[in-house]
Amino acid sequence: MVASPEPAAAPPPASPSKATDSRIATTLRIEPERLEALKILAAKRRVRVNDLILEGVDHVLALNAVAH
């Protein structure tokens, strides 16, 4: 009787490719009250809190004549 060969091991799953852009991920520490206010405003404007924060950053940079 001939033994059947063992099945070949499956290759490891491919890791998802990351987006290659020039953005940098950061962490923001914010008081719960401020975060709640941002969430309310974001919901009213139908945008993400992150979008509001980036809009604020753009506003501050424009006020201070900093190119971005």
pLDDT digits (tens, 9 = 90+) for 29-57: 999 999 999 999 999 999 999 999 999 99
- 3: helix, strand or coil: coil
Provide the number of structural domains found in the chain: 1
Residue 46 has phi, psi (to 5 degrees) of 60, 50
Cβ(41)–Cβ(52) below 8 Å:
yes
Task: Say what the pLDDT of residue 46 is.
Answer: 97
Task: Say what the pLDDT of residue 11 is.
Answer: 65
Amino acid (one-letter) located at 46: R
CA quadruple 49, 53, 54, 58: dihedral sign: positive
Section 19-38 average pLDDT: 90
Residue 15 maps to a domain:
no
Task: Say what the pLDDT of residue 31 is.
Answer: 97
pLDDT at 20 over 90: no
Residue 42 maps to a domain:
yes
Q: Which domain holds residue 40?
A: 32-63
Average pLDDT, the chain: 84
Report residue 17 as tokens.
């490719």
